[in-house]
Structure 1
């Protein structure tokens, strides 16, 4: 695995909350700091469904990767916004299906980079690589990914709980469109995103608390079902469409979540 830092990435700062570390705190991990813990606790107090949603989101990632690596025959994945490694990371799930699967992880937090280098270890037959970059830098991500992935062949593009950190002013729909356009036919988009229209008052309150404590670049924006469905433009949505997390190909082994979870998710195939 190779680290390739790029200019323009925010330097490490433990005094403000960062998405990957807050997510780690919600999952019960230890790779976070007091500022992250405070943001995680206050946001969860404003919306108690956050923690069940984060866990359900992780389960969705696993189900989606198994579906792509199994039924769809996808053998390479580009996981943008990977977060701090935990159980069942993308390459682990994919390489259980095919040990030769290849994965490139992308994140913009030096803490994530340090853990990725140590923990995201591929099978001998496959490959994992790590790129320190911002989601907005589409050209750089795709150019660097080609050192590990063959973009002339289908790719599983993972945008799992990441696009909420791109404000409307930076046109997140255009970012998703440009990524999809550069991938081969047969590629799949796996996406989840906080909902603005499930438990709207609680979601707004939790986002407000989080944004007050987050790094300047890391403010979060929940979006509606229609706005999230637009991210799949240029793909054919797989059944059951854009749904709540537990409704996408549910697995009886996954723990049942109480009540409605404030996130939408889906998978689309590029024709």
Structure 2
């Protein structure tokens, strides 16, 4: 079953007296149990798509289904956890009240409501501020509150629009770990992110949108496994043939998969330190190629 269906979606806005297309005939699906990363530059149309999916905007053409129901039907959002890029929470409420009331709206009351509220406030690291007003919290703490609300309902589908926005490095790692835990537990995850490394780690599939148009959609493992060459970076004072200086004493080279073990042995033999290895055509390279091609065109 598809929990998200986007079919021929188009949307335009008026800007300085002219129509600007935010989405142009975009179609994709998210099946139950999938983890899908939604990627694109700022202004590519990611947030517009998600807003249409949750009934905050109406499409000019096409359709959006959430949990098998039309996106404009409030019933489609039952059992769905959602955190927008810049969550708006009532400033007079506290994190405890936000999570508790959110659970109540999903029919979770009494002792179970209290248990989940305490558990997720603690897990997101905001239990110490549980009774402070939202107006007195930082952007990062507000983001954590919204995430606690989304995870606490134990959703069938979790939709996150730039979930790392406003978080410090520790918070980003913590949220990435929670997303991974949710995914491995069988949950369905749809998230947008500028951090392509997180998409490679957390997504089974990706959907790439650029200037309102769908440019690519593929399995992440399929993309990474299809490449015959690997990019290798190491730290050391000795240059290995075929490598070039990346920065300081960091060297970078392109190595065929079948020669990878030999190269790693060379790095070790020269007292070098392996920094990272990734496929030549990673998600980041594909993303750059799409953007560069559009600029050149």
Give me the TM-score of the superposition, normalised by structure 1.
Answer: 0.30
Larger relative contact order, structure 1 or 2 (CA cutoff 8 Å, min sep 6): 1
Larger Rg: 2
Give me the TM-score of the superposition, normalised by structure 2.
Answer: 0.28
- Between structures 1 and 2, the one with greater strand share: 2
